[in-house]
Chain A
Amino acid sequence: MFEGLSRARGGLRKAGLALALSTALVAGALSPMLAAAQETTLKFVSWQNDEPGVGGWWAGLIEEFKAQHPGVEVEWTKVERAAFADTMTTLFAGGSPPDIVHLASFEFQRFANEGWLEDLGPWFDKGGVSLDGWAGQQICELNGETVCVMMLYFGYIMAYNEAILNAEGLSAPTNYAELLEVARKTTKDLNGDGIIDQYGLHHPTKVGGGQYVTEMLNYVLDAGGRWTNAEGQVTIDTPEVIEGLTRWKTIVTEGLMPRDLSSGETRQLLADGKIAVGLDGPWLVPILANGAASDDVKIVADPLSPPVGGSSNVLGMSKDISDEHKALVWDFIQLAMSDDFQSSYATLAASPAPSPRADITEATAVTPEFGLLVEGAQAASAEGIDRIPAGLEIQYNEFAKMVMEESQRMIIEDLDPAAVAATMQALAEDLQNQ
């Protein structure tokens, strides 16, 4: 009897184990399916996650999107700006692109050219979303398609240290000649050790070709020059661009700015009272507010006309994703473009929102200089200014590197700006014809 009971217990144990195992197997097999049914995940890769102001805006946008779409998760991953293009290229080329595509305005063209970005035109038509007056949106029109939505179009402003200028009996410059005079008089060796420790101008030149060319563009634009005309033809060998190159050469060779520093370093020097004048975008404002010389630094309109302006970053949609994901990404883009979020963008990012319907009342209350930032963007937009020259969008990185190197050669070898402009013209045309 005991033997029979023991056998029965053994059978029961085996049956129990078999049941538990099969339950676990079935549960294991079903759980991803159940999870998939309950939760859809959109991949979103950005470099702005931790950026003061704008990072908070993205976080708020994601939270609101998730609240409006229960069961939808947004996997928001940060990739450093320096490695961003590499990472995005690898993701797209490897067949696992992010659903929500965030790119800088000087790099999205390559991705669009590969056919990786969805044409948003039909989505705008279907959703009845108006892009009238949306700053910088024309840059997202590529080969007849709307491949992205512009997220920031900015114009430069000028920050100057009132105490430094007052000490030299100077006032805020209102044109290039005055700016040069201010730069010359405020570039000084303050402690007599033979080393300059206060500079007149802020021009970061270490970051790379794009930054270098943007700094030069201040003087090229004020001289009436453009790298290319509206039709995309290269116009570097014009007298206006040659004048711009001459001004750049003057400023660099006279040592009126610290050499080979990154934008972060020069902005901090300006904020700390080591640089007298800075021409820069809206992102300068929060940095200056936290600097050692915050009480002395004032912000006014850019004395150079038209000011440097341009597109910064864009939002788009991957082409190679499911229709369900596309619909969700479109909702995300629409939410980012909504009046509420455009208004909060102005407030949190302290930058002019691209939407003409953005309410900037709160932004103006938080940032007193906000009106100047808007005026700067409008002044640049009115002249159709963009850092990325028309007709060289795809080759922009090569173009920027070429202009930087030829400018460096002009300074190092003391070359005639007219000859340098001729060389640049030929090389830029070669790039266009590749």
Chain B
Amino acid sequence: MSRLPLLDLARPSRRHWLGYLLLAPAVVLIALIIIYPLIVSFDISFQKVDIVRLDRRAPFTLANYQQLFGSAEFWMSCWVTLKLVVVVTACCVALGLATALLVNNRFRGRTVARLLVALPWAVPEIIAVVIFAWIFDSSFGLMNWLFFRLGLINETINWFSDPNAAFVAVVVTMVWKGYPFVSIMALAGLQSIPEDYYNAARVDGANAWNRFTNITIPSLMPVLGVTMVLVLLWVFRDFSIINVMTGGGPLKSTQTLSIMTYEHAFGFFKMGYASAVGVVTLIFCVLASLLMIGRKADGIY
């Protein structure tokens, strides 16, 4: 021990070293799996290359970014991504909060109701997409049949051939898949609000709406804030739902930045350009997360 004083992890001043040592394998692994590809991707985005070869490097260029910012397709994808993020996140939060409030009440069959609310979260994404692709099928799907029966339409809607209809189909599928997460998180948050708050408010004459806006929502905001960030990032980066249902079409009406990145990388084999799209997408994601997480939870009281 005396020969190796530096390794004396029992000394109070060096106790935290053990923590770093234990964390080191995980940090190295994350660096290899996440950080290294990010650096490589960043590097490739400054090279005009089609298929990437790690054994060669093309000259540094800003051509990919110049092409990107001058491309109508890129701005269209940004707009579609923004629309999708706003609409899906808002719907997920509204529906998730509503169902959480519902199943937070005491009633017969509450356990079954909670199970049903959480069920879509448990269904694998690809299975959900296949189910919804059939529901929205233009020729033989359930949705057209239902709308016909209800007298809402006179001719079938081509769900995946019409830009607006395709966007709606994608939104509905994403909301169905995403709202249970909000619901589960909000339910956990609701159960942590002390009943005393409500009792005191009742004594003060607050009605249900007052209690909801002045107690429930503020108390839930820390939970909802984090949940919204997670939902937002999920919508931002989700690929499989859109790729299977519409492939980004028709006329790029559902082409998000994720789909654009994939298509240019593995459809057109333009890795340099695709990396530039990926880097910009990453920056957007980081900015969005900072905006959401940066808010002080107690600032709402």
Contact = CB atoms under 8 A, between A and B. Distances in A.
Interface residues of A, number: 30
Interface string B244-265: 0001011110000000000101
Interface stretch (A122-130, A190-198, A237-245): A190-198
Nearest to A115: B53
Interface string A107-131: 0001000100000000000000000
Most buried by A among B156, B160, B162, B249: B249
A5 interface: no
Contacts, number: 79
B55 A95 contact: yes
Nearest to B53: A93
A93 B52 contact: yes
Nearest to B134: A265
B51 A89 contact: yes
In this complex, the interface size class of chain B, counting residues with CB under 8 Å from chain A, is: 20 to 34
A418 interface: no
Main DSSP-derived SS at the B contact region: loop
B222 interface: no
Contacts of A85: 266-267, 269
B289 interface: no
A219 to B, nearest CB: 18
B161 A93 contact: no
Nearest to B156: A195
B144 interface: yes
Contacts of A110: 50-51, 269
A298 interface: no
Contact of A195 (B52, B144, B249): B144
Interface stretch (A324-332, A337-345, A352-360, A405-413): A405-413
B54 interface: yes
A199 B139 contact: yes
B148 interface: yes
A412 B251 contact: yes
B225 interface: no
* Residue from B154, B161, B252 whose CB has the most chain A CB atoms within 10 Å: B161
Contacts of B266: 85-86, 89
B139 A259 contact: yes
A208 interface: yes
Given A95-B55, A110-B51, A261 B148 contact: no
Contacts of B251: 405, 408-409, 412
Interface of B: 50-55, 137-140, 144-145, 148, 154-156, 158-163, 247, 249-252, 263, 265-269
